[in-house]
Amino acid sequence: MSSLSDEEIIAQNPIGNGLDDFRRLFREKLETSTLHAKVLVLKLLLALQTVPLASVLKYRTTISDDFNLLSCIPLFKAVDSHASDVEIFNALLVLLARPTIPHQSGPTTPPQSIPSFDATSEQTPLPYSGDHLADSSEHLKVIDQTLKEEVEDRLITDLPDFLVLSLNQFQSFQRLQTLYTTCAKIQRCRYIGKKLAGSIEKLLLFASERGFRPDKDRRIVATPKEPIPGSVSQRNLDIGMISSSDEPLNWSQILVPGELKSNQVEDNRRPIWLELIKYVRKVFRAQDTRRFVLRFIMCGSLMRLWRFDRLGGMASKSFDINKDGKMFVSAILGYLWMDEEGLGFDPTILKEDAKKYIKIQRNGLEERLYLEELMQRQPCVFGRATTCWRGHVNEDTQLVIKDSWEYEERPEEGVLLKEATEAGVQNISRYYHHETVCVGAAIDGVRNNARKGLQDASGRNPFQQRQSAISESTTSSVTSDPPTVQKDIQRQYNRVHRRVIIRDVGKSIYDATSLGALLTGLLGGIKGHESLLNAGILHRDISIGNVLLNEAEDDAFLIDLDLAIKINREKASGAPSKTGTKVFMAIGVLYGEHHSFMHDLESFFWVLFLVCVHWNGPERPSETKAEYENWNYKNTVELADIKAGKVIHTYRFNEELDSKVTSYCEALIPCIQQLHEVVFPDGKRWLTEDRRLYSRMKSVLENAIEALEV
């Protein structure tokens, strides 16, 4: 794709802070004498795959069993000492037995600030794809369980009706027969990004001369060597359709991202699917009104169209653009001619003079709510994808508008919140309005609306097919449902688009300006939980993100009743169980016990513990500690075992507090120890429910707040 030397490519794609997390992990292992060469090399390779350079300098290898620490020392030393990018990759290539890159002296990229700790999302962000280790057993062990859950059960390919149903927004192809001959020119361009983009531009000019012009100002862009800003980790875009703008290109402009590969065999490989999802995630994150994202990939002359929504990814059968020029032209023009709703944008969020607003019917009257500021956008592809905006009806009525994609079997958060508000529940966000969003006079559900008739029954799951082939060639005593059964289980669920509007605007306890304010937040959260329980509602999702301080920091309230239930209901919702934000979930919930208010009170304990091992105080970067970050990627039983092991022996728990709590939070160690005593008396988990635990925990927090004020 380029005549540039390796060193020039490296200079254009700096590593930046992409290895900071590994450096911290390496120093931690070095200080504790727990180095394991093979594991550390694998983690370093995975870290290197997240930097822009990885998509340009391709390498493939497996880690042999005779790997030893001595052979790794030059690479570890280069990374740990912040050597130049060329020196780091030279050390890596020596390790992998590949010719090295001639080095020229030059400035190195200084390390950047550490990203802040954030474990409040329901879905953990996809941290990496393992394309460079795709065929090694080590790769399969290192890829975290969250990535598998996010991907493997949610991809369906080879849908026979996909092309017709996806492109039905543009119905004038019969009038474009003369355009199909243009594909002969595209045939000679193969997969090379800018040449292909240029050929498509000629196709658009050809169509424009014959009276076919997009309603919107859109164009093709190819930036295979230029990282696109607009996200934490910069990535290149081989090719894509964008909305034209005078502003520099960023992810908020990408309408349909594309992917180009040189070889047709890559069309049906695991790394491609994972790469597709990472780019889709960036589009979702940068575009807060996106309901679904369309994608396409070209492997040689094979083209495949994709669609990603909050239930999963669906794809067409692949077709050869040299043999089916009509379908190629249909796809390209279809993407460029589609209206914004067809491209996946929410038509219920409107614009007036660059201001976003929604309309609601409340008390028999129509109200217009303006969206002022994006407060939260969960960085995920599949799942609830909660998005919150600060908004207003008028200057005196400040509101929070929350959109999410909920399992339709779940109780509606808006109904529970309205009931709690009317019952006078304290320290809970106050209800203003709720609705199930409708698009085109129909409920905006994934299966019945967003997919426009696409059904996944006739497709196949490429991951499950691969797993089935592997299982047939090996012997195992473990039995499981066949892929068809697993796929049917996944299909029975649907997500619907719900909107809840609340009156109270607060801030995360992680943004507290003092230790006392942090404890005030937890105290207010526990009060709200107790008041909610007295009204017959159990919260079930206590996390850092769901406990908010008011602006004065003298009180706090709970938000997010997405997973809450009426405690007197007779049967379960039918939606997937083990609810909550995993790293904060109580030990018993992780083991699969019936969810009790006692579990939620334990979650408050884990919230304080995890804040104190990461937080360095207001407006200071938080520490990232691999031991606790890895909790995001453990399965629930494994995480339950880890947590139980920490609390069972009081003296070991106290030792961990002394060594792991940040210096800023050291003053809270006595408070954490006292909460440990009341939540886990004698290092044991509770056996019977006891509402007196509320008063005990509140007393500990109140005393700690008073002690801080002295």
Q: What pLDDT is recorded for position 199?
A: 73
Least reliable range by pLDDT among 464-468, 612-616, 631-635, 637-641: 464-468
Q: Which residues contact 3 (CB under 8 A, 6 or more apart)?
A: none
Least reliable range by pLDDT among 229-238, 414-423, 499-508: 229-238
Q: What pLDDT is recorded for position 113?
A: 28
- Band of residue 2 on the pLDDT scale cut at 50, 70, 90: very low
Percent pLDDT > 90 in the chain is 44
Question: How does DSSP assign 621-650, residue by residue?
Answer: PPP--HHHHGGGGS-HHHHHHHHHHHHSSH
Q: What is the mean pLDDT of residues 662-691?
A: 95
Residue 205 above 90 pLDDT? no
- Band of residue 467 on the pLDDT scale cut at 50, 70, 90: very low
Q: What pLDDT is recorded for position 484?
A: 38
Q: What is the mean pLDDT of residues 609-616?
A: 96
Burial label for 423, CB within 10 Å (0-12, 13-18, 19+), is: middle
3-class SS letters over 502-535: ECCCCEEHHHCCCHHHHHHHHHHHHHHHHHHHHC
Name the H helices within 299-349. Answer: 325-337, 340-343
3-class SS letters over 411-438: CCHHHHHHHHHHCCCCCECCEEEEEECE
Which two tokens mark 411?
Answer: 């109780």
Least reliable range by pLDDT among 40-54, 348-362, 428-442, 646-660: 40-54
**SS3 (DSSP) at 469:** helix
- Band of residue 465 on the pLDDT scale cut at 50, 70, 90: low
Whose CA is closest to 238, among 272, 270, 287, 202? 272
Q: What pLDDT is recorded for position 542?
A: 97
Least reliable range by pLDDT among 55-69, 355-369, 582-596, 628-642: 55-69
Least reliable range by pLDDT among 107-121, 306-320, 458-472, 534-548: 107-121
Residue 155 above 70 pLDDT? yes
Q: What pLDDT is recorded for position 490?
A: 46
Q: Find where tokens 């526990």 sit.
A: 526
Residue 103 above 80 pLDDT? no
Q: What is the mean pLDDT of residues 644-669?
A: 95
What are the beta bridge partners of residue 361?
A: 366
Vertex 282: Cα angle to 278 and 284 (nearest 5): 115
Q: Which helix (H) or strand (E) holds 193?
A: helix 193-209
Residue 677 or residue 463, greater confidence? 677
Whose CA is closest to 310, among 440, 405, 379, 402? 405
Whose CA is closest to 500, among 410, 433, 572? 433
DSSP 8-state assignment for residue 578: S
Task: For residue range 312-335, list pLDDT tens digits in order.
Answer: 999 999 999 888 888 888 888 888
Q: Please report, for the chain, the start and end positions of each structural domain, with discontinuous segments joined by +.
A: 6-123, 151-343, 507-710
Q: What pLDDT is recorded for position 561?
A: 94
Q: What is the mean pLDDT of the chain?
A: 78
Residue 99 above 70 pLDDT? no
CATH code for the domain defined by 507-710: 1.10.510.10
Which two tokens mark 243?
Answer: 């909305």
CA distance 582 to 590: 8
Q: What pLDDT is recorded for position 130?
A: 28
Residue 114 above 60 pLDDT? no
Q: What pLDDT is recorded for position 11?
A: 73
Residue 424 above 50 pLDDT? yes
Residue 136 above 70 pLDDT? no
Q: What pLDDT is recorded for position 655?
A: 95
CA distance 547 to 427: 10
Type of residue at 453: G
Residue 685 or residue 210, greater confidence? 685
Q: Which CATH architecture has domain 151-343?
A: Alpha-Beta Complex (3.90)
CA distance 673 to 692: 18
Most confident of 194-208, 418-432, 617-631: 418-432
Q: What pLDDT is recorded for position 677?
A: 97
Residue 630 above 90 pLDDT? no
Q: Contact at 8 Å (CB) between 399 and 392?
A: yes
CA distance 552 to 548: 11
Least reliable range by pLDDT among 198-207, 302-311, 370-379, 647-656: 198-207
Q: Find where tokens 């027969």 sit.
A: 177
The length of the chain, given as a count of residues: 710
Q: What is the mean pLDDT of residues 479-495?
A: 49
Which two tokens mark 543?
Answer: 């996390």
Least reliable range by pLDDT among 186-195, 474-483, 509-518: 474-483
Backbone angles phi, psi at 392, to 5 degrees: -160, 155
CA distance 143 to 128: 8
Vertex 359: Cα angle to 255 and 442 (nearest 5): 70
Q: What pLDDT is recorded for position 238?
A: 85
Q: Which residues contact 300 (CB under 8 A, 6 or more apart)?
A: 190, 191, 261, 262, 263, 264, 267
Which two tokens mark 294?
Answer: 């369309």
Task: For residue range 526-579, list pLDDT tens digits in order.
Answer: 999 999 999 999 999 999 999 999 999 999 999 999 999 998 754 445 444 678
Task: For residue range 267-288, list pLDDT tens digits in order.
Answer: 877 777 777 888 898 999 999 9
Most confident of 256-260, 378-382, 447-451, 497-501: 497-501
Q: What pLDDT is recorded for position 193?
A: 54
Q: Contact at 8 Å (CB) between 258 and 239?
A: yes
Q: Which helix (H) or strand (E) holds 319?
A: strand 319-320
Percent pLDDT > 70 in the chain is 73
Residue 399 above 90 pLDDT? yes
Residue 431 above 50 pLDDT? yes
- Band of residue 675 on the pLDDT scale cut at 50, 70, 90: very high
